[in-house]
Amino acid sequence: MDNRGQDNKATGEGRPRAVSGQILARKEREAREAVFPDLRNLGIAARVIVLYVAMVVGYALATANVPFDVVINVSVSLLDTVPLAVGIGLAWALASRWLRKLAYWQAATTVLVFTAVSVGVWARWMHAPIWRAVPLALLALAVVLVYFHTLGRALSPAVTEARLQALQARIRPHFLFNSINGVLGVLRAEPKRAEAALEDMADLFRVLMRENRTLQPLQDEITLTRQYLNLEKLRLGDRLNVVWKLDKMPTDAMVPPLVLQPIAENAVYHGIEPTQAAGEIEIDVSRLRGEVIITVRNPFLEQAGAHHGGNKMAMGNIRERLALHFDAEARMVAGPRDGRYQVQLILPYRKSGDTKAIV
Residue 321, domain CATH: 3.30.565.10
Give the number of residues written for the chain: 359
Nearest one of 228, 220, 294 to 254, comparing CA atoms: 220
Q: Count other Cβ atoms within 10 Å, centred on residue 293.
A: 16
Give yes or no: residues 55 and 141 share one domain: yes
pLDDT of residue 174: 57
Contact criterion met (CB below 8 Å) for 328 and 273: no
Query: What does the pLDDT look like over 215-254, one tens digit per residue?
Result: 889 998 998 899 888 888 887 888 999 999 999 999 899 9
Task: Give 316: exposed, middle or buried? Use CB within 10 Å, 0-12, 13-18, 19+.
Answer: middle
- CA 282 to mean position of chain CA atoms: 24
Range of the domain at 181: 172-348
**11: in domain:** no
Q: How many angstroms separate the CA atoms of 299 and 278, rounded?
A: 10
**193: in domain:** yes
For residue 303, what pLDDT band results from cuts at 50, 70 and 90? low
Domain boundary pick from 126, 155, 184: 155
More confident position, 159 or 123: 123
Give yes or no: residues 128 and 234 share one domain: no
More confident position, 5 or 276: 276
Give yes or no: residues 288 and 231 share one domain: yes
Give yes or no: residues 149 and 176 share one domain: no
Q: How many angstroms separate the CA atoms of 145 and 103, rounded?
A: 13
**57: in domain:** yes
pLDDT of residue 41: 83
pTM for the whole thing? Answer: 0.65
pLDDT of residue 285: 96
Give yes or no: residues 133 and 106 share one domain: yes
Give yes or no: residues 187 and 151 share one domain: no
Give yes or no: residues 221 and 146 share one domain: no
Q: Is residue 24 over pLDDT 60?
A: no
> Would you tell me the crossing angle of helices 130-170 and 311-326 to the nearest 10 degrees?
150
Whole-Å CA distances, 115 to 86, 96, 151, 218, 339: 12, 15, 22, 38, 56
Give yes or no: residues 151 and 176 share one domain: no
Domain count, the chain: 2
**178: in domain:** yes
SS3 category, 250: coil
